Structure 1
Amino acid sequence: MTGAGAPARPARAVDPWFLEEGRSEPSALRTATAAEVGDLLRLELAGLDVSLPGPWRPAQPFVLPRQSYDELFDIARTLLALVRRAVLALGGGWPARAEALGAEFADYPLLSGQDNTETAFCAMMARPDLVIGEGGPQLLGFDVSGTFDGPNAAHGLAAVWERTHPGLFFGHDPLATRVRAFEDVCASRRLPRAVAVIGSPGDPRDEAGTRWKEGDLEQFRRRGFTADFLEPDELPEALGRPGRLRYPLGLRNFSPADWDERGLSLRPVYDAQRAGLLLLPPQSSGLLANRKALALVSEGRPWMTRAERRLADRHLPWTRITLPGRTDWRGTEHELDVLLRTHRERFVLKKAIGTTGGEALVGRHTDPTDWQHAVTAALTSGDSVVQEYVEPALCPIELTDGTGTRSALVAPVLSPMLFGDRPGGCWARFVPGSETSDDVSRGVIGVGAGACENAVLTWADPVA
């Protein structure tokens, strides 16, 4: 089905960006039965909080040509650098930058006050969300923090596909790459290898609350780190205060907003920072996820080179802050209000601050009256951005219900992860659809209920 007022969508073929000539289908190379795949997904992913709602689940990873796989990380790295520079160029320190982006400074209670440190590490961990459009990868938004989804799921799913397709695929490991980013920090700051993974309290009987913690700690310990998971009330004693800190580094595995909603005090973390704990990533990273920063890059900054402008034009859909006035779109000036009301099917409205896709309103899938009200509200408050809609390309995948398999074409959201500027694996979400419906792209912008997760890999060896 299509959204209200949206044109009927013709059947589409697989986009060449996903394909490599001379390769067999991964489904033909799988060494496990459908039942064995189902068992492996259940056993290997238990406790990792991976979304596989079923009945149809992936029976293989998304497998890209090496050129396409590497391109994801190259684009992510370049656009992240542009977003970071756009935020830094707002000047005046991090509190002033938050104000310039329409954020409440009170929502960033863990800004350390050490601007140089915040600046050095604000882009340490990032996960863009991209779809493949006519011009290749198209950036929908960034999640820049220590709490984004994807690392554990991509790591666990890649382990499953290694067992079902042994030796065939390659992928950067997000958990190992994150540790290497911390090694770089230790080397640059001359710090001992000791890290406290700081998170929310959980029920020790809850497997989902313990397995991912142990996996994270094991990755650090393999590389010679002293590593422990600490809850907030454990911080003062565990850090070794007074005296020299037992853990000079902290991995921020929580969102201050989440703690506030649960009535948890940030005071222990704040005190630990004041005692010398380097909390990574710093809370300034959240400003890079503000979609207004993305709009600044899309509009173009005076310091951008021609090459940077070309790359942004190619891989960042037209994005603007929802402020009344004239704007350029497709080479012609328009009143933004009139443009959005006249071409509803061409745009997506998104809150500037919020979870990726969670506050997105897709014009072609929205009732015209509801769209008009949303445009009025966005232009009045100025708290949103508008982004040109990208029709996502289709990718082949084999799905299983645990008893049999079927081939499908889906429109995945691809999320290459960066840790300390290093490629750190790629996570994906997609809507499996049904055996009778080809409407797989409607849920892409706000992938949520009914979406499956998967790992994105490439071939381990060149094509013969």
Structure 2
Amino acid sequence: MTSTVPPSAGTVHPWFREEGRPAPPDLRRLSGAETFELLRREMAGLSVSLPGPALPAQPFVLPRRSYEELFDVTRVLLSLVRRAVLAQGGSWPARAVALGADPDDYPLLSGQDNTETEYCAMMARADMVIGERGPQLLEFNVSGTFGGPSETHALAAVWQQTHQEAGRTPFTGSDPLIARVRAYEDVCARRRLPKAVALVGSLGDLLEDSDIRFHELALEQFRHRGFTADFFEPHQLPDALGRPGALRYPLGLRDFALPDWRERGISLEPVHQSQRSGFLLLPPQSSGLLANKKALALVSEGRPWMTRAERRVVERHLPWTRITIPGRTGWREGEHELPALLLRERERFVLKRAIGQTGREVLVGRHTSEQTWEAAVSSAFQAGDSVVQEYVEPVSCPLELTDGKKTWTAQVSPVLSPMLFNGRAGGCWARFLPDGGSGAEGRVSVGEYHATENAVLTWA
């Protein structure tokens, strides 16, 4: 995920402030050194990025109204993006073409368009910063492989050990792993399927051997709620499903990214074979089209079927976004030629590849030289493969940090990522730069720019 996050200082924005509550550092019952060691120990093997030397000594704690607003805004905007994508064609391959994507890049489309449509928005993560007007959506991650669920679950468990008020945990939040299991329970109930799920991935995707805990934690949550659940490499699938006859595992959790498997030469044929046998791999690959940033641009422009209430949500919470196609467009009460506008107002915009990840295809105008920006804008309009989004100036909030020896409070500007599973709130992940800086050219990303992770909670 990528955002535009410069340093910011000053008083705490009302969106972050809870009047009448104690400061979270006052509720910490462990020392900074104990908190530091607990984080390192409990996060080991879960692919959580705690690069150090400074780690969070507390969660991000939001007022209840702000915490719930994150999920409310995500539900509305995800629904609009889904509907905008569906309107692009009569089938999923046609929609891919309409959004400038190659259908060959979506080889796991099942061909069962109704099923794909039903579950395309089953799992989603919104990436937001907080501006003066509250949450501002930068992009959606819609699939089974986005970061955040295991990390948020584990970090929240740590914070419930480190802080107490009147002998009880003062913070709470929805749990992404439980919400994901409940989404699968919904599918089983609707389709009258036995509660059995195969987590499909590859151990070669893990950074370290110890990261197997990442999969074990997911399986544990399914089993705790009565599922038969096991992990399978793709080549194990056909035998594991038990054909011929009823499938032992009618459902699968897609826990792999196709680009990674292509790079490593892993064959998809066992997955195709399983799908032909009736194996329902969720979320379906159609979900990837909802993450295409051109869909955000369509919603930002406004669709004729949008209600006034939906337009108000878009106006307030989705920064102005347009596809890089030459022509005139409205911006800030005026009409402008889009390419000329971007060159003239470079510092007000961010250029993003429509299909991209981890900030590799993002340029922040104010952190980019004029020459580099002009070349990127020219290329984007020639290819028509990008979007431009108005820059969001985020506000900051205080967060207690520790290096294991001392603790201090810093002003940071986090990226907040509420997650939905079948519409249910499923926890909120966060990334931030401990020094309050803006990362590489204004971007915050765990994989590319070594941001630190945290969980977002609210008052119990």
| TM-score w.r.t. length of structure 2 | 0.95
Work out whether 1:98 is the aligned partner of 2:96: yes
Q: Is the 8 A contact 2:127 2:140 kept in 1?
A: yes
SS of the aligned residue for 2:34 comes to helix
- Distance in structure 2 (CA, Å) of the matches to 1:257 and 1:419: 24
**Shift of residue 205, structure 1, vs aligned partner:** 11
**Aligned residue type for 2:61:** V
**Aligned residue type for 1:392:** P
**Shift of residue 12, structure 1, vs aligned partner:** 3.4
Work out whether 1:144 is the aligned partner of 2:146: no
**Shift of residue 429, structure 1, vs aligned partner:** 0.2
Work out whether 1:59 is the aligned partner of 2:61: no
- Distance in structure 1 (CA, Å) of the matches to 2:375 and 2:205: 43
**Aligned residue type for 2:302:** G
**Shift of residue 256, structure 1, vs aligned partner:** 1.7
**Aligned residue type for 2:307:** T
Q: Is the 8 A contact 2:432 2:444 kept in 1?
A: no
SS of the aligned residue for 1:202 comes to helix
- The equivalent residue for 1:352 is 354
Equivalent of 1:74 in 49, 54, 72: 72
**Shift of residue 454, structure 1, vs aligned partner:** 0.1
Q: Is the 8 A contact 1:126 1:145 kept in 2?
A: yes
- Distance in structure 2 (CA, Å) of the matches to 1:9 and 1:240: 55
**Aligned residue type for 1:135:** R
Counterparts in 2 of 1:452 and 1:444: CA distance versus 1, 3 Å: farther
- Distance in structure 2 (CA, Å) of the matches to 1:11 and 1:212: 36
Structure 1: gaps spanning 5 or more residues: 1-7
Q: Is the 8 A contact 2:9 2:411 kept in 1?
A: no
- The equivalent residue for 1:416 is 418
- Distance in structure 2 (CA, Å) of the matches to 1:325 and 1:154: 43
Q: Is the 8 A contact 1:412 1:444 kept in 2?
A: no
Counterparts in 2 of 1:405 and 1:112: CA distance versus 1, 3 Å: same
- Distance in structure 1 (CA, Å) of the matches to 2:298 and 2:244: 45
- The equivalent residue for 2:428 is 426
Q: Is the 8 A contact 1:107 1:257 kept in 2?
A: no
Counterparts in 2 of 1:61 and 1:332: CA distance versus 1, 3 Å: same
Deviations 1:278-321 (A, max 9, x none): 11000000000000000000000010011111110110000000
| Equivalent residues in 2 for 1:423-462, closer than 5 Å | 423-433=425-435, 439-440=437-438, 445-447=443-445, 448-460=448-460
After alignment, is 356-365 or 371-380 more displaced? 356-365
**Aligned residue type for 1:456:** V
- The equivalent residue for 1:280 is 282
- The equivalent residue for 1:25 is 23
**Shift of residue 16, structure 1, vs aligned partner:** 1.3
Deviations 1:111-151 (A, max 9, x none): 00000000000000000100001111000000000000000
**Shift of residue 358, structure 1, vs aligned partner:** 3.1
Work out whether 1:208 is the aligned partner of 2:206: no
- Distance in structure 1 (CA, Å) of the matches to 2:132 and 2:283: 34
- The equivalent residue for 2:390 is 388
Deviations 1:312-339 (A, max 9, x none): 0110000000011111101210000110
Q: Is the 8 A contact 2:131 2:394 kept in 1?
A: yes
- Distance in structure 1 (CA, Å) of the matches to 2:10 and 2:206: 48
Q: CA RMSD in A?
A: 1.7
- Distance in structure 2 (CA, Å) of the matches to 1:28 and 1:43: 23
Q: Is the 8 A contact 1:49 1:208 kept in 2?
A: no
**Shift of residue 354, structure 1, vs aligned partner:** 1.1
Q: Among the aligned pairs, what percent are the same residue?
A: 67
Equivalent of 1:239 in 232, 241, 246: 241
Work out whether 1:47 is the aligned partner of 2:45: yes
| Equivalent residues in 2 for 1:38-437, closer than 5 Å | 38-166=36-164, 167-202=169-204, 206-433=208-435
- Distance in structure 2 (CA, Å) of the matches to 1:314 and 1:442: 28
Q: Is the 8 A contact 1:410 1:441 kept in 2?
A: no
- Distance in structure 1 (CA, Å) of the matches to 2:312 and 2:83: 17
Q: Is the 8 A contact 1:430 1:444 kept in 2?
A: no
Counterparts in 2 of 1:383 and 1:177: CA distance versus 1, 3 Å: same
Deviations 1:234-264 (A, max 9, x none): 1111110122111000000011222111100
SS of the aligned residue for 2:203 comes to coil
Q: Is the 8 A contact 2:89 2:98 kept in 1?
A: no
**Shift of residue 360, structure 1, vs aligned partner:** 1.2
**Shift of residue 359, structure 1, vs aligned partner:** 1.5
- Distance in structure 1 (CA, Å) of the matches to 2:400 and 2:208: 32
After alignment, is 46-55 or 208-217 more displaced? 208-217
Structure 2: gaps spanning 5 or more residues: 1-5
| TM-score w.r.t. length of structure 1 | 0.94
- Distance in structure 2 (CA, Å) of the matches to 1:206 and 1:430: 24
List structure 1 runs of 4+ shifted beyond 3 angstroms.
Answer: 8-12, 201-209, 438-446
- Distance in structure 1 (CA, Å) of the matches to 2:275 and 2:371: 49
- Distance in structure 2 (CA, Å) of the matches to 1:71 and 1:417: 12
**Aligned residue type for 2:454:** N
**Shift of residue 446, structure 1, vs aligned partner:** 3.8
- Distance in structure 2 (CA, Å) of the matches to 1:46 and 1:334: 52
- Distance in structure 2 (CA, Å) of the matches to 1:185 and 1:196: 14
Q: Is the 8 A contact 1:139 1:317 kept in 2?
A: yes
SS of the aligned residue for 1:392 comes to coil
SS of the aligned residue for 2:272 comes to helix
**Aligned residue type for 2:266:** L
Counterparts in 2 of 1:308 and 1:273: CA distance versus 1, 3 Å: same
Deviations 1:26-50 (A, max 9, x none): 0011000011001100111000011
SS of the aligned residue for 1:18 comes to coil
Q: Is the 8 A contact 2:32 2:57 kept in 1?
A: yes
Counterparts in 2 of 1:406 and 1:192: CA distance versus 1, 3 Å: same
SS of the aligned residue for 2:15 comes to helix
**Aligned residue type for 1:452:** T
**Aligned residue type for 1:381:** A
